[in-house]
Amino acid sequence: MNVTEAMKRRAESGEPILFGIFGAGFMGRGILNQNRYLEGVRCAAVCNRTVEKVADTLSELHLGPFSEVGTSDELDKAVAAGRIAVTDQPEALCGSELLSCLVEATGNIEYGARVASLAIESGKHIVLMNAELDGTIGPLLARKAEKAGVLYTGCDGDQPAVQMDLFRFVLSLQLEPLVCGNIKGLQDRYRNPTTQESFAKHWGQTSHMVTSFADGTKISFEQAIVANATGMVVETQGMRGMVHEGHVEELVSAYDVDQLRTMGGVVDYVIGASPSPGVYLLAAARDEVQAHYLRYGKLGDGPLYSFYVPYHLTVLEAPRTVVRLVDGEEVVIAPKEGPIVDVITAAKRDLGAGETIDGLGGYMTYGLCENYESAAGQNLLPIGLAEGTLLKRDIPRDGLVTKDDVVFPEGTLIHRLRAEQDALFPAGAA
């Protein structure tokens, strides 16, 4: 759809799309700042576990006026009066009559599972900027959204969505997409919040978030999302992840086309390539006539052809998703059906029996992509379930953690929902 024209029509009609967000951290702050410039779409409400942080952010950005609210009625009255509603009660956003769509931007799996589920149950469209949640129970949430008659999607500006748009573009050309790839500047499995503290402070992010970027956990979740949306698989556990300091156009000779076709296409990433931090897609022609016109278009001699986007602009693009979802009923990226690729848990250091595993981007574990059938067959622990689990045995550095190696915490929603997903999409059922 033409998002710009849709926003213009909304602005001219005086009926902007109003949406709410969960989370006032790095992503939430950027989305709120866009309120200065957006026409036809507006972030009208923010839910955060600490209201004071939202108030501080709004004051810092010189945005307002705003009102602290506790119920949906109070929220709608504040929004109708032109004020930004601020709350620590997710139910207030989910029960609002004025908010058309909700955006989950916390990055926290347990909290994200709670508010995403509540939004769906309340009949609200939901946009995830939470790759960790999507990569853990996305297929289940997508199925729940379908049954509830609402839309569930990832977000423009995140690498999975940019790859998915490339994927759709290549399909529209009637070419054969065979590799969906992500471009990383560096990767070190053993980075931790201490090593990443300075970088995180510079960019206003948390050290755990930055660590998950550096140790490969984040990119594993992102590529699992792409796999679940396209049906592609991983070539090998952890993906190939080659180091290539040239341009991604040079990757056309790095893969065996016949092998890619046999696997149905793969998700992957590359370290050190340009244009960073973009994404790439490698596709094949279906016949010699197509190949002739691809050569004419200066895309090379094949058999693989490179398509890429040199950037992803996160919060700047997020409102586009809201417009696409509400006015165009467009899902940017979502699981096709059941899980195709999972993100499993590996030890960042030697782990000892009796230790409790810390959170994502921490000191103890990192995530690796593995095909769902293989991960389930080996009973490997999804890293989205790892936080708070108690180790029953020693695990050497780089060793894989299985479900049998841990005791799960009690009363967590994410574990209950993941069990529901595993029952809904049992490995080997296909």
82, pLDDT greater than 60 = yes
Question: Mean of the per-residue pLDDT values for the chain?
Answer: 97
Quick one: pLDDT at residue 75? 98
Q: How far apart are CA 362 and CA 210, in angstroms?
A: 10
Quick one: pLDDT at residue 430? 54
Quick one: pLDDT at residue 101? 97
375, pLDDT greater than 80 = yes
Domain boundaries, the chain: 3-157+315-326, 158-312+337-430
**At 11, which helix (H) or strand (E)?**
helix 3-13
Q: How far apart are CA 79 and CA 85, in angstroms?
A: 6
Q: What is the pLDDT of residues 389-429, one digit of tens each?
A: 999 999 999 999 999 999 999 999 999 999 999 999 998 76
Q: What is the pLDDT of residues 38-80, one digit of tens each?
A: 999 999 999 999 999 999 999 999 998 999 999 999 999 999 9
Quick one: pLDDT at residue 64? 84
21, pLDDT greater than 60 = yes
Spell out the alpha helix ranges (H) of 45-187: 51-60, 72-80, 90-94, 109-121, 131-148, 159-172
Q: Where residue 219 falls among pLDDT bands split at 50, 70, 90? A: very high
Q: What is the pLDDT of residues 305-320, one digit of tens each?
A: 999 999 999 999 999 9
Cβ atoms 281, 179 nearer than 8 A: yes
Q: How far apart are CA 119 and CA 123, in angstroms?
A: 6
Domain 3-157+315-326 matching CATH 3.40.50.720: the answer reads: yes
Q: What is the pLDDT of residues 252-307, one digit of tens each?
A: 999 999 999 999 999 999 999 999 999 999 999 999 999 999 999 999 999 999 99
Quick one: pLDDT at residue 429? 66
DSSP string, 259-307: HHHHHT-EEEEEES-BSTT-EEEEEE-SSHHHHHHHHHTT--S-SEEEE
Quick one: pLDDT at residue 114? 98
pTM: 0.96
3, pLDDT greater than 90 = yes
Quick one: pLDDT at residue 428? 75
Quick one: pLDDT at residue 213? 93
Q: What is the pLDDT of residues 88-103, one digit of tens each?
A: 999 999 999 999 999 9
Quick one: pLDDT at residue 1? 87
Q: Where residue 132 falls among pLDDT bands split at 50, 70, 90? A: very high
Which residues neighbour 342 within 8 Å (Cβ) at sequence distance 6 or greater? Answer: 135, 224, 369, 370, 371, 372, 375, 376, 380, 382
Sheet of strand 66-68: strand arrangement = 66-68, 84-87, 41-47, 17-22, 101-104, 125-128, 152-154
Angle formed at CA 39 by CA 37 and CA 40, multiple of 5 degrees: 150
Q: What is the mean pLDDT of residues 11-23?
A: 97
Q: How far apart are CA 179 and CA 238, in angstroms?
A: 15
